Structure 1
């Protein structure tokens, strides 16, 4: 309400409208970054807040990262039922023209659309129903597809010859909006206070060195408990993995990731921690941060492997709200540059150089001593 609504059109970067409607929005979201992170992923409260701010949001919409969607002007956002967004998927607030003007326009997401990890949707984009936007994909206004039920991939996006299974449907699990939203809010608040209380109590009751050791052991134990269900099979429905129990366990682990994780980044302590979580990691491996490997128990990394900042090894996909897991192998002396993503089932056979903004697809087999670039990854000289 402080920012207000904005109309589609062109705005000078020196204008009052730009400062008030666009710049101020980004400032508020950035300033309250940690407070907005209070909302869990895929929570119904995110949709309620966006509707309150003026967005058109239908039912059964699941947003992984609420802040990324909040950065886009709410009154220009139209999301139909069954839409799902995943980690780091973003809606760009404006584009810059050659004349130095900011172009602002609506974004329309059709029913049952999926936005993959790290994809970007530009202003003026209209997506029909049942579109899957792949990871690291850029969808611009120039892309106009009259055909639904397809997969978009690439920078810029282009239609892929992939077949989307027809037997997968999005389940509407919002049978009681009011009661579930109130219950969800109470549970989120309770989980927040319990996790903070345990974290503060641990470090107040023990010396720092002892508290760090106990915290690390608890972090590993909670992770091993949280993945017990995933060891039984490799496919899971949305309701099996997005539960209150899993959120509470994640909240307990997030304290360690937030406060202790940054001190482990780039050190040999981080590979040691991932080994305790179940990863098979060789010697002299450098990892940028604690979030670079999302499923450690399914990852095998050889000797002398290097990951740059923003590189991710992700041993799961969430296709049409179906969680699918598969192991990943990164053999010796491979280098993953910034903003690369390795999907489940992929194997890097050794001495592979993955250039920035590269997507290694599911089950890809990369021959040794090769260089790869693009979305999807293609071998380059």
Structure 2
């Protein structure tokens, strides 16, 4: 009903009734809980279609069509072609704003494509069918429509759409073998969703009981009862989150992997992703964050300052002494490209700094004292020498003495391509 008030490609003034309708749509249609519940499973497809997505019929069901972190301005102006797979942290931008007005437009994602992590996909995209959009890529909005290529970097440049090594699992993506494995994946994902709901229910139950106990003790203890309840609930949140996350892997560390998304090893990793603990964000910028990381399996040195960095497979991360992790950083030990999943270790040496919004991919090593500049993307397999400063997307060395000065991102993207 709200969407009837906001027509596509029509300019409306800010802060009016139509703007309020648009903002209400954005708030209501971006349920983190429901997208997190159904993401990384076949159940996300009917959910998004019911929400308003235009998913071309018939939908090519992969079991991992969309990740568990997805955002849009309005679901009624999103089109996704058949056979496309979108990883987590995809943000679809339908709205354009000025200081006085706004408008919404359709964002169309082509068929048979793959979108990596942390991508902002605008409605003005010039990306067509059968494209690979690498992690943290800047989606082109001018020039000719790109088709049948891969895109990497900011600004983006073309890379091969696929590599021969990733074709070794193609026999699992069609025919009877696909139907058999997809059915098994659906059963595994359904059980994972059950565990997710059970963990949330138990946490809510304990929180409600704690609140009721605090209310019953308030007449005799006063505010002290509320303070005690908050402290106990915080401690329970830490213990509950760590135990659920560890239990999702059978209290065993996650090993490096190279497998198909139709392999049970990948399904177990999906279960870990869905049951990950998010309690560490409460302790960002405090000395307690180090203790939380150690409980979750990170091999960690002394005097860490973490202002809000995120990690997935914690036991695959090694961090030295006196490291600084700035807000919005990502240390990601895995990637998925089409139907192939890969994960490996990451080593960050003593005295290193990760800038705000930087992204470190799997199989990388940062030498002691190395610095990764803000908003940079360190590609898989890279090794930063000790005391070097790297930056850009993809990241390359930044030289300031008798050499290259800190050039813009375009230079480093072009250099990487050459």
TM-score by length of 2: 0.74
Check the 8 A contact 2:70/2:90 in 1, yes or no: no
| Aligned equivalent of 1:152 | 151
- Identify which range, 312-321 or 58-67, moves more after superposition: 58-67
Check the 8 A contact 1:138/1:154 in 2, yes or no: yes
Higher CA-based Rg: 2
Check the 8 A contact 2:132/2:161 in 1, yes or no: no
Runs of 4+ in 1 over 6 A off after TM superposition: 179-186
One of 266, 281, 284 as aligned partner of 2:285: 266
One of 257, 267, 270 as aligned partner of 1:234: 257
Are 2:387 and 1:369 aligned?
yes
How far 1:145 sits from its partner (Å)?
Answer: 3.4
Are 2:85 and 1:90 aligned?
no
Unpaired runs of 5+ residues, structure 1, are none
How far 1:59 sits from its partner (Å)?
Answer: 2.6
Unpaired runs of 5+ residues, structure 2, are 214-228, 401-418
Correspondences of 1:293-332 after superposition (within 5 Å): 293-332=311-350
Q: Hey, what's the Cα distance between the residues in 2 that align with 1:224 and 1:184? A: 14
Cα gap change, 1:241/1:82 in structure 2, threshold over 3 Å: closer, same or farther?
Answer: farther
How far 1:64 sits from its partner (Å)?
Answer: 0.8
Q: Hey, what's the Cα distance between the residues in 1 that align with 2:241 and 2:68? A: 26
SS across alignment from 1:39? helix
Name the Cα RMSD after superposition: 3.7
Are 2:229 and 1:225 aligned?
no
Cα gap change, 1:5/1:59 in structure 2, threshold over 3 Å: closer, same or farther?
Answer: farther
| Aligned equivalent of 1:63 | 66
Cα gap change, 1:126/1:106 in structure 2, threshold over 3 Å: closer, same or farther?
Answer: farther
SS across alignment from 2:336? strand
SS across alignment from 2:259? strand
Cα gap change, 1:265/1:16 in structure 2, threshold over 3 Å: closer, same or farther?
Answer: closer
Cα gap change, 1:54/1:348 in structure 2, threshold over 3 Å: closer, same or farther?
Answer: same
Check the 8 A contact 1:45/1:181 in 2, yes or no: no
Correspondences of 1:193-232 after superposition (within 5 Å): 193-199=197-203, 208=232, 211=236, 215=240, 218-219=243-244, 221-222=246-247, 224-225=249-250, 230-231=254-255
Correspondences of 1:133-172 after superposition (within 5 Å): 133-148=133-148, 150-160=149-159, 164-165=163-164, 167=167, 169=170, 171=173
Check the 8 A contact 2:389/2:397 in 1, yes or no: yes
How far 1:330 sits from its partner (Å)?
Answer: 1.0
Cα gap change, 1:247/1:139 in structure 2, threshold over 3 Å: closer, same or farther?
Answer: closer
One of 37, 40, 43 as aligned partner of 1:39: 37
Q: How many residues get paired?
A: 365
Check the 8 A contact 1:10/1:101 in 2, yes or no: no
